[in-house]
Structures are given as structure tokens and as C-alpha cells.
Amino acid sequence: MNKRIWLSLAHMGGREQDFIKEAFDTNWVVPLGPNVDAFEKALADYLQDDRQVVALSAGTAALHLGLILLGVKPGDEVICQSFTFAASANPISYLEAKPVFVDSEKDTWNMDPVLLEEAIKDRLRKTEKLPKAIIPVHLYGMPAKMDEIMEIAHRYDIPVLEDAAEALGSKLNGQMCGVFGELAALSFNGNKMITTSGGGALICRTEEEAKQTKFYATQARDAAPHYQHTHIGYNYRMSNICAGIGRGQMFVLEEHIARRRAHQALYTNLLKDVPGITVMQNPNDRFQSNFWLTCILVDPKIAGKTREDIRLKLNAENIETRPLWKPMHLQPVFVDAPFYGNGTSERLFDIGLCLPSGPMLTEEDVEKVVNMIKRV
């Protein structure tokens, strides 16, 4: 049997063990500790912006706490990109708020600014209230059109919570993803740009927001000698052990980005003459995706085969691929949510495929994947 070529495996750089050992040697094996503090500082420094970063147990936890900081309450509406993973939308429901889904534009596959404004105007007409927040997603590492999205958000005075879970290291106009909105979420799940085995972070604009995030993430314990709580809190802080992994991963982050970009460039070159196959690209020089995952579109009318034909063939050859995200407005759990669409995300879901892209991938692996696609 051929060795399995995985979609996106984690890669350890070597320094991770040093920080984990330090945590054990000093008995810092609890949530919080020197590794947590150092990891948060390393992330804040990397963003090259005057932001505060709070390390948490998951990217989903970051989105949940972000919505709480933005004052989202039961019955409020929150606009969310439809073409994304469920974790972008689920925290809206945690708070008994209501998601309003907006479709994508074709350049970046992310939230369409034209439809965003259409949704805001229509919700205001129908509910006599503005949505409480906007959640754009930098999908597969590709920056959303944040200039246009932020202009609309500012005009209607609606705060933006960026879902940058897949976009650590991606840039728009030379600016890191995660520093455009009021708040932003990162993910360090096992298949992301860097990992803490699981985990995430909330990027905050102010020190007060970071303080509030830490408060809610540690069970919202009031300043008292006994355990007293005037707010509902959550057990969302990152452990000092996991943060030690994150500290080590920061030393290989740029290498991971470079390797994933190199994989995307190689896929582009090797697939350029295959009819009906299109590799996702940066729309122009303003966009610098980390290419967390290299994605292709398969036009069955030209290729003669469907995305699913290719996926099944590659799987039979022990190569892991994945269809693009199924849009949230098509998910049974969100069947009743308002949706403002143009058909883009539905078509992308029908014809799109994510190819193996992790930092452990070799050029030979990429060539094997491409040769199998050509054989189909």
C-alpha cells in the first residue's frame, strides 16, 4: 500500500519539546503560565500591530468570546459569511442570537461586500435594527476584501469580528489578517498554519478588551477572596503545556508559510495545461495568501470528470483531499436563517477540491497528486 498523503499534517520544528519540558520542570502544567504569556507576546509581535492577543482553548472559543465582547445578546442578528466552516457560525447560536448569511464574491471566495450592504439594508427594513456584528472569513488563507467590508461596517457603525483561523501570516495591502476588525480569531488546530494540538486566540484592539477576554475565559471570577460570579464565564484558557508547543511553532511559522506557498506554485505550474482545472490564486498584488490549503476548481464540462471523480480516485490511491466547505445556508441546522446570495458559494462547493498542502509534503508528493489527477 502506498504511504498516505495527508491533506495537512502538523510539523514540529524541535523547539516545542524545550518549552514543554520547561513547563514540566517548573510544575507549570495548568492553564496560564510563562509559556502562555510568551506565546501571546510572540503572536502580538508577529502581527506587527499594536494589538493584544489572548491565548484560548480553541478558535471557536475566540469567536464566542469575541461576540460577547461586542455585546451580542439573545435575539440579535449577526451577519456571517456563508462559505465557511461551521465554527464561524456556531458561536452565534451559543448566544441565542440569529445568523444572517452572506454569499461570496468570485475573486477571493469570501464575503461579497455588495451583498453585505444589501443584507444590512434589508435587515434594517425588516427588523428596524442593525445587525450587531459582522463575521467575514479569510477562507483557506485568502484575505477577504477587508477595505470594502470595513468601509461598509464603519458607515453603518457595525463592529467586525474577523475569522482569521486559516489566515495566520496572510496579508492584505501589506497588513496582517486579523488586525482589520475590532476583534479577530485565530486557530491552532492540528492542521492549521501552526498548532498547539488544539487551541486558538482572540486578537483584541485594546488592553481592556484583552482583560475582559481573560475574565470571561477563566469562569468570570470576580475580584473577591471567595468564589463569586456576577457573569457567566467559561473555561476557555489555553494550558501552559499547549502554549509551549505554540512557542516552539512560532520559530517555524515563516517556514510553514513559505512551504505552503511553494506547494501552491508547484501545483499551479504542473496543472496549468490540464483542461478544466483551475488553481486558486491571489487576485492581485494586494493579496498575499498563506495558501493554507491549495484549492482547485474542476469544470466538469471541460475536464470531462467531476470534482468527486477526482476525489474518489485520489482516495483510492491513498491521497487525502477534501471538498470545499459546504455553505452554511445549505446546512440543515441553519435552514431557517436569512441568506443573501448570488450562487457563488454553491457553485464553489459543487466543483471545488482542497489538495494536500501541509509543510510535511514533498515535491514528489505534489507531483504524485498531480499525476493522479491527470490520470483521471
Per-residue pLDDT of the chain (376 residues; tens, 9 = 90+): 579 999 999 899 989 999 999 999 998 887 889 999 999 999 999 998 899 999 999 999 999 999 999 999 999 999 999 999 999 999 999 999 999 999 999 999 999 999 999 999 999 999 999 999 999 999 999 999 999 999 999 999 999 999 999 999 999 999 999 999 999 999 999 999 999 999 999 999 999 999 999 999 999 999 999 999 999 999 999 999 999 999 999 999 999 999 999 999 999 999 999 999 999 999 999 999 999 999 999 999 999 999 999 999 999 999 999 999 999 999 999 999 999 999 999 999 999 999 999 999 999 999 999 999 999 8
Final residue of a domain: which of 192, 216, 249? Answer: 249
On whether residue 344 sits in a domain, the answer given is yes
In a domain, 7, yes or no: no
Residues 245 and 260 in one domain: no
The amino acid sitting at 127 is T
Residues 233, 257, single domain; the answer is: no
276 and 197 in one domain?
no
In a domain, 9, yes or no: no
Domain span at 285: 253-375
Domain boundary among 249, 284, 315: 249
Contact between 144 and 136 (Cβ < 8 Å): yes
228 and 297 fall within a common domain: no
CATH number for 292: 3.90.1150.10
* Non-local CB neighbours of 102 within 8 Å, separated by 6+ positions: 79, 80, 81, 82, 111, 112, 115, 116, 119, 339, 340, 341
CA angle in degrees (0–180, nearest 5) for 183-184-187: 150
Q: Does residue 11 belong to any structural domain of this protein?
A: no
Element (H, E) at 20: helix 16-25
Looking at the fold, whether 158 and 287 belong to one and the same domain comes out as no
On the 0-12 / 13-18 / 19+ scale of CB atoms within 10 A, 281 is middle
Query: If we measure between CA atoms, which residue out of 1, 6, 39, 3 comes closest to residue 320?
Result: 6
Q: Do residues 233 and 259 both lie within one domain?
A: no
Instruction: Give the residues across from 149 on adjacent strands.
Output: none
4 in any annotated domain: no
Measured CA to CA, the distance from residue 132 to residue 130 in angstroms comes to 6
pLDDT score, position 99: 98
Q: Among 249, 274, 304, which residue terminates a domain?
A: 249
- Residues 141, 213, single domain; the answer is yes
Give the model's pLDDT for residue 1: 59
Query: Would you state the pLDDT for residue 31?
Result: 80
Q: What is the pLDDT of residue 242?
A: 96
The cell numbers describing 97, all together, are: 442570537
- Looking at the structure, tell me whether residues 197 and 297 fall in a common domain: no
DSSP one-letter code for 89: T
- Whether 273 and 258 map to the same domain: the answer is yes
Q: Is 209 a member of any domain?
A: yes
Strands 287-288 and 133-135: unpaired
The separation between the first and the last C-alpha atoms of the chain, rounded to the nearest angstrom, is 20
pTM: 0.96
Q: At what angle do helices 16-25 and 34-46 cross, to 10 degrees?
A: 150
Does a structural domain hold residue 257? yes
Question: Is the domain of 96 the same as that of 134?
Answer: yes
Strands 161-163 and 183-187: parallel
Q: How far is 201 from 206, CA to CA, in rounded Å?
A: 15
Rounded Cα–Cα distance for residues 62 and 56 (Å): 7
What is the DSSP track for 67-90?
HHHTT--TT-EEEEESSS-GGGTH
74 and 200 housed in the same domain: yes
Instruction: Please check whether residue 160 lies inside any domain of the structure.
Output: yes
Q: Which residues face 294 on adjacent strands?
A: 355
- The CATH code of the domain that includes 201 is 3.40.640.10
Tally of domains in the chain: 2
One domain for residues 262 and 192: no
Among 346, 345, 341, 343, which Cα is nearest to 116's? 341
Query: Identity (one letter) of the amino acid at 334?
Result: F
* Rama region for 343: left / alpha / beta (φ>0; ψ in -120 to 50; rest): left
